[in-house]
Amino acid sequence: MTDTDPTPEGDASVEAATSAGAGAEAVDAEPELDRDGTSTPVPIAEPELSDDAIERVASILEAGRLADGPEVRAFEEEFASYCGTADAVATANGTTALHAALEAIGLEAGDAVITSPFSFVASANAIRLAGGTPVFADIDPETYTLDPTDVERVLGERNDIVGLLPVHLYGLPADMPALCELADAHDLFVVEDACQAHGAKIDGRRVGEFGDAACFSFYPTKNMTTGEGGMIVTDRDDIAARAASYVNHGRETDGTGGYEHVALGHNYRLTSVAAAIGRTQLERLPACNRARREHAAYYDDRLADLPLETPTEPANARHVYHQYTVRTDERDALESTLSEREVQTGVYYETPIHRQPAYETVSTAAASLPQAERAAADVLSLPVHPGLTERDRRTVVEAVRDHFTTQ
């Protein structure tokens, strides 16, 4: 894996704020201690909160403005600027971001939207919540993201598709150049599910810049967190205005709303406390992503000779390793070896969405999607979060190597 990002992220002050640092030197220089002085498992995820976050939250609490307010507006502006979009609308979580974005785009009952079957269920649920029908295309077995060739097959078979909802899974962008070309050719909207990919790039552009809208989650396991939280980014004024209204009970968005409700809406607002945490997390994101990439490179080097597949990073992409996911046909055995060695792992996702019980009644879910089904049986994610110590990642590598070499 090489860092193909032409624009190095962050600056020295951001770097210094990250406990894991970014370079090999910084990580290797860490003392040989257990993570908190005791013998604890290596966690699969760990939020990286700074003192700064605590101070900012304290100042919000002191000011007493807890719900929506200027702190949320400031977070929206900073997040839009990071993503390179004109607008951002904060929401209560990633699921509500996806739902509100689809409502703002004007999805209508029965509209069919192509998405990935190999994702967290919220990707497809959002389409259903907005009244649409999710239609699944298969994934590319190397990137685990929507395969444009299979999307094209589905477009050839159906004439009711109005949009694409690709998922940037594990921190790797879907093939947006190819998917956007298909969307243009078939006059489809694109909503990016970027819930796992804050800061990832393809063709030198950040995720969020490609679709009509893109949605992020700030759940604690994500590359940045607000506890619960989400964000819609968009360059389209009409989508930004309708989404901002939808998340605020259908009020006008110029602040004159009061108890006048011009459209159907919801309370999907983010709190000021969450926004305060988010602003500090956004400052740390570039350094945290660099630390994730450095851990991934460490694993790539040390696992390359084993009979397992390490993650792919296409030459035009910059992966941000929300997950470092390997695949092997002895996934369950590897998972139990690692558990015995106190290394936490995760299976994302054991059941593809079209095989979920909640999708039994969705007729479009009956399709056979062999790549998604195979991936669900083979994938295992190893700890890759920025808080990993040198000792943690060595423990991970030794445990994986021992599994394959001492049988």
Nearest distance from C-beta of residue 146 to ligand PLP, angstroms: 12
Nearest residue by C-beta to ligand PLP?
94
| 94 lines the binding site for ligand PLP (CB under 6 A) | yes
With beta carbons less than 8 A apart as the criterion, state whether 284 and 290 touch. no
Give, for 300, the enclosing helix (H) or strand (E): helix 272-303
Q: Name the residue with tokens 């894996």.
A: 1
Tell me whether strands 189-193 and 161-165 are parallel, antiparallel or unpaired. parallel
Residues 167-206 that bind ligand PLP (CB under 6 A): 167, 193, 195-196
Sign of CA dihedral 11, 15, 18, 24: positive
CA 175, 180, 181 angle in degrees (round to 5)? 105
* Given 75, 118, 120, 321, the residue binding ligand PLP (CB under 6 A): 120
> Which tokens is 143 given?
């990137």
Shorter beta-carbon distance to ligand PLP: residue 217 or 328: 217
Nearest distance from C-beta of residue 373 to ligand PLP, angstroms: 18
Amino acid at 65: R
Shorter beta-carbon distance to ligand PLP: residue 35 or 128: 128
* Given 85, 143, 217, 337, the residue binding ligand PLP (CB under 6 A): 217
| 359 lines the binding site for ligand PLP (CB under 6 A) | no
Cα 72 to Cα 79, 188, 289: the distances in Å are 10, 31, 23
Cα 386 to Cα 4, 195, 400: the distances in Å are 20, 18, 20
Nearest distance from C-beta of residue 109 to ligand PLP, angstroms: 22
| 93 lines the binding site for ligand PLP (CB under 6 A) | yes
Amino acid at 217: S
Nearest distance from C-beta of residue 229 to ligand PLP, angstroms: 7
Nearest distance from C-beta of residue 403 to ligand PLP, angstroms: 27
| 230 lines the binding site for ligand PLP (CB under 6 A) | yes
With beta carbons less than 8 A apart as the criterion, state whether 90 and 68 touch. no
Torsion of the alpha carbons at 283, 284, 288 and 289, rounded to the nearest 10: 0
Binding mask 48-87 for ligand PLP (x = CB under 6 A): ----------------------------------------
Give the span between the Cα atoms of 254 and 100, in whole angstroms: 18
With beta carbons less than 8 A apart as the criterion, state whether 194 and 216 touch. yes
Shorter beta-carbon distance to ligand PLP: residue 120 or 321: 120
Span interacting with ligand PLP, options 92-100, 175-183, 206-214, 391-399, rule CB under 6 A: 92-100
Give the span between the Cα atoms of 365 and 359, in whole angstroms: 6
With beta carbons less than 8 A apart as the criterion, state whether 372 and 139 touch. yes
* Given 18, 119, 143, 225, the residue binding ligand PLP (CB under 6 A): 119
Nearest distance from C-beta of residue 348 to ligand PLP, angstroms: 8
Question: Among 121, 124, 125, 120, which Cα is nearest to 136's?
Answer: 124
Shorter beta-carbon distance to ligand PLP: residue 217 or 389: 217
| 308 lines the binding site for ligand PLP (CB under 6 A) | no
| 219 lines the binding site for ligand PLP (CB under 6 A) | yes
* Given 95, 248, 272, 310, the residue binding ligand PLP (CB under 6 A): 95
Residues contributing to the site for ligand PLP (CB under 6 A): 93-95, 119-120, 122-123, 167, 193, 195-196, 217, 219, 230
